[in-house]
Structure 1
Amino acid sequence: MRRRRLFGGLAALLVAVAGVVAVTAQPAQAAAGFTVSGSRILDANGNAFVMRGVNHAHTWYADKLGSLADIKALGANTVRVVLSSGDRWTRNDAADVTNVITQCKANRLICVLEVHDTTGYGEESAATTLARAVDYWIAIRSALAGQERYVILNIGNEPYGNTGTAGWVADTKNAITRLRAAGFEHSIMVDAPNWGQDWSFTMRDNAASVFATDPQRNTIFSIHMYGVFDTAAEIDDYLGRFITAGLPIVVGEFGHNHSDGNPDEDTILATAQSRGIGYLGWSWSGNGGGVEYLDLVTNFNASALTSWGQRLFNGANGIKATSREASVFGGTQPTTPTSPPTSPSVPPSSPPPTGRQCTATYAVTGSWGGGFQGAVTVTAGGAAITSWTVTWTWPSGQRFTNTWNAAVTSSGSAVTARNMSYNGSVPAGGSTSWGFTASWTGTNTAPTPTCAAA
């Protein structure tokens, strides 16, 4: 994203109904770094990793690489770095990319590298093809080989505008095939067409076949959320279809405002958090062309957060509250990101619980006519726990329509949720979370959950 076209009336097209074919993503067999398992992204140690970070326009501001330290200091675990293949802007050569990766690693940031020259192909006359982006990646492979633990390759930014989007499918498959044939073992990220917003559902409805093209089954899908995604229902439906299909999805770009409409950033953040989906806000600093309001900081000054920066870094479900560093950098980190409870689990004057105990906090994160989305945060007491069970009774006849990050059973109004294999172990004082969507009629009274640990 640098400039964006107006998409008059495109949000209305989101009422089109089409399903993502369910294909469970399995971990890559040979990759030395990131892999995917179902809808989850795993780091090289096999731990779940959820991106919490920002975009940085390196190719236009090559002298601002020191911003990576500032991005890390504000809590990010990932940075998406804008590069150029030389087709539209000054080429970032292998030496420069090596330096970028070195600085990412020094700041313990996972580095998502993307070629920006493809932005809006078919509608933007200066844009280049995904094939040219692949040519670039192959040409600088010396900078990328051996960095699979720290680098994810985002083939090309927003590789189609609103014209000829059907070509996205074959072009993306060909790009993945060529990269694998050239020996790349990195996780590959692919952006949606329609300037990244996929209002035509081209990526959504062809994601399973694109994923199957990758012999390593190690492809991640990236949606950019601006004015097309201005309601909770649109956001939840789009992301939910990938989760249901067992395919990995991240929000590779999003903002709090845009010339094509007002995105619902609160729901984007809440839904990403409750569903364990990564997000990368656009962008650190240096925006032009009328979208300067998307700067997270003013003039690359980390102490001058804009209102958008305050929201993304310090707000509810924001980076500071939910980011967890990739385990490849060492140290003990929870395997899933968590939000702090919305209210204290015990009175502040009470001592923390001891032994194998846990508390559960229930929160509604979004709602619409007849339905809502919620999140449950499980917090360990004074000792680490290896498993947890949350129970409650629905007080108003609510019923689940979908759940994730927990094994949930219901008997009438009685609910029992148990940990999955990957999120049962919680360190003392640490937290994990699971989420759900549900239906309701009349009133939506919150239940009172209880938590048992072992």
Structure 2
Amino acid sequence: MKRRRAAAATGLLLAVCASLLTAAPSAQAAGTAGFHVKDGRLLDATDQDFVLRGVNHAHTWYPDRTDQALKDIKAKGANSVRVVLATGDQWTRNDTADVAHVIDQCKRNRLVCVLEAHDTTGYGESAGAVPLAKAVDYWLGVKSALVGQEKYVLVNIGNEPWGNTGYTAWTDATKTAIGRLRNAGLDHTLVVDAPNWGQDWSFTMRDNAAGVFAADPDRNTVFDIHMYGVYDTAAEVKDYLNRFVSARLPVMVGEFGDMHSDGNPDEDAIMATAQSLGIGYLGWSWSGNGGGVEYLDLARGFDPNQLSAWGKRLFDGVDGIKATAKEASVFSGGGTDPGGESGACTVTYRLSDWGGSFNADVTVRNDSTHALDGWALDFAFPAQQRINAIWNAKATQSGTKVHVTPESWTRSVPAGGSVGFGLSGSSTAGTNAVPTGFTLDGRTCATR
């Protein structure tokens, strides 16, 4: 359901006479209670460098898919997800309770949440699109779901504000939007999208980024470029991103694909350049695209086992998510449940070993204080074991790694309750030791 972008000729990109960015001062957010910017880098709440490696998910159009989608996205190796929300101006509003639920699910899956308001897409050119001021109104309306989540959430003020008409207003409107959010007490890292359907072929964001950054009293703003047909050569990709890095201004690639209606972006150059510069990227999009851009689906029909060629490239390819993503240290550094709980689960694995074959009865206890509605258990076999059958759950296996998800009748697990499943398998190594390192929804489980 991704909106089609108006074509922006690459020749125009090359023809625009752009001035050099003015170097930004070495600065960071006033407080370090959450994500913050320092010397052009995004740091998390533990003051560790964090590089976004994830995907976009169209929550506002597929809210019933989100809980499972986030689990599947995490299982594919992502450390972050950019979530589409609606202000109610073009699409049905995602209210405060829904935003709080999305944040909770991101945290449970140890994913950094980049929340974006989509109704600004193509303002000035797309019928129904609204200005950034409306997006600010939305964020203030759901403020209670955001406050206190600065360690886990980045606020992307408005998706692709301005199409190819009226985009010169971007600078002042963006400064005003940042000021309103700061005055209202939002201390999150703010993310601002480029105009020109996000692609900034006019270099409006590039050439005014230093002034916008300086206008943020917290110096905690990240610039978001969307790379589609305008960025169809490695030279264009490198030039654009290097200008921000040279000026010590934080930048991310919030959307990109391996093809598009306005041209064929160089996704290899985008990923390689982002990796070499330590810049975050999030591919568009997990699933559910329509209107002729179905080729942008990473997973066909929301099925993690049916990745498209684009999905395989993004997750498994050179400079891809699996090879480069590192989990935010706010999740992995302290042994604490992302929801604030420790000791979130216990796994009991009872093995019946016959050398070349085995059975196992597995019990997963939910030790947290919240019920589970859907879950994912991950572990790795210590030898050459293969699952031949499983009951009361479903499993996929890649090498020694196993990913288990529930059947409909084992989906719900109350706080303090347990769920069980069984499996049978074989081993060419003649040994069937008990796996170690069980994780439930990304959280390490105790074993017994």
Task: Please give the TM-score of this superposition, normalised by the length of structure 1.
Answer: 0.72
Q: Which residue of 2 aligns with 1:304?
A: 306
Q: For each residue in 1:292-331, what CA deviation from the matched residue of structure 2 results, as whole angstroms up to 9, or x when unmatched?
A: 0000000000110000000000000000000000000124
- 1:51-95 deviations in whole A, cap 9, x for unaligned? 000000000000001100000000000000000000000000000
State the Cα deviation string for residues 87-127 of structure 1 (Å, max 9, x = none).
00000000000000000000000000000000000000210
* Offset at residue 25 of structure 1 (A): 4.3
Equivalent residue number for residue 147 of structure 1 = 149
Q: Matches of residues 239-250 of structure 1 in structure 2 within 5 Å?
A: 239-250=241-252
| 2:239 counterpart residue number | 237
Q: Offset of 1:18 from its aligned partner?
A: 2.0
* Contact 1:117-1:127 at 8 Å conserved across structures: yes
Matched, 1:18 2:19: yes
Alignment of 1:41-56 (within 5 A): 41-56=42-57
- Structure 1 residues 22 and 181: CA distance shift in structure 2, 3 A: same
Give the corresponding residue for 2:215. Answer: 213
Cα–Cα, structure 1 residues 31 and 289, in superposed 2: closer, same or farther, change >3 Å? same
Letter of the aligned partner of 2:300 in structure 1?
T
Tell me the residue number matched to 2:366. none
2:126 corresponds, among 124, 127, 131, to 124
| DSSP-derived class of the 2:167 partner | coil
Question: Equivalent residues in 2 for 1:133-282 (5 A)?
Answer: 133-282=135-284
Looking at structure 1, the residues matched to 5 and 284 of structure 2 have their Cα atoms a distance apart, in angstroms, of 16
Contact conserved, 2:110 with 2:331, CA < 8 A, in 1? yes
Using the aligned pairs only, state the percent identity. Answer: 65
Deviation by residue 1:20-39 (Cα, 9 ceiling, x = unmatched): 11113411112520001122
Q: Per the alignment, in what secondary structure is the counterpart of residue 48 of structure 1?
A: coil
Deviations, residues 203-230 of structure 1 (Å, cap 9, x unaligned): 0000000001100000000000000000
Mark the CA change 1:302 to 1:41 in structure 2 (over 3 Å): closer, same or farther. Answer: same
- Please say if residues 226 and 256 of structure 2, whose CA atoms lie closer than 8 Å, have aligned partners that are also in contact: yes
CA contact (8 A) 1:111 1:152 kept: yes
The residue number in structure 1 matching 2:428 is none
Q: Evaluate the alpha carbon distance shift between residue 260 and residue 149 of structure 1 in structure 2; reply closer, same or farther with a 3 A threshold.
A: same
Contact 1:11 1:199 in 2 (8 A): no
Contact 2:12/2:201 (8 A) holds in 1: no
Structure 2 CA distance, aligned partners of 1:331 and 1:43?
11
2:74 is matched with which residue: 68, 72, 75? 72
Distance in 1 separating the partners of 2:84 and 2:305: 23
Contact persistence 1:84–1:91 (CA under 8 A) = yes
Name 2:2's counterpart in structure 1: 2
Structure 1's unaligned 5+ residue stretches are 334-454
The SS at the match of 2:60 is helix
Distance 2:198 2:178 in 1: 18
Alignment-mate amino acid for residue 185 of structure 2: G
Letter of the 1:23 counterpart:
A
Equivalence for 1:39 = 40
Greater alpha carbon shift after TM alignment, 42-51 vs 11-20: 11-20
> How far apart in 1 are the matches of 2:26 and 2:155?
18
Q: Is the 8 A contact 2:237 2:269 kept in 1?
A: yes
Q: Give, in whole Å, the separation in 2 of the partners of 1:14 and 1:255.
A: 21
**Structure 2 unaligned runs (5+)?**
336-448
Contact kept? 2:13, 2:230, Cα under 8 Å: no
In structure 2, the residue matched to 1:322 is 324
Q: Deviations over 1:370-397 (max 9, x none)?
A: xxxxxxxxxxxxxxxxxxxxxxxxxxxx
In structure 1, how many angstroms separate the alpha carbons of the residues matched to 2:39 and 2:261?
A: 35
8 A contact 1:81–1:111 mirrored in 2:
yes
Q: Deviations over 1:333-392 (max 9, x none)?
A: 9xxxxxxxxxxxxxxxxxxxxxxxxxxxxxxxxxxxxxxxxxxxxxxxxxxxxxxxxxxx
Letter in 2 for 1:34: F
- Matched with 1:428 is none
User: Under a length normalisation based on structure 2, what TM-score does the superposition of the two structures give?
Assistant: 0.73
2: distance between equivalents of 1:189 and 1:106? 23
Matched residue of 2:249: which SS? Answer: coil
> 64-73 vs 30-39, which deviates more?
30-39
Report how far residue 332 of structure 1 moved.
Answer: 8.4
Deviating more after overlay: 242-251 vs 324-333: 324-333
The CA RMSD over aligned residues, in Å, is 1.3
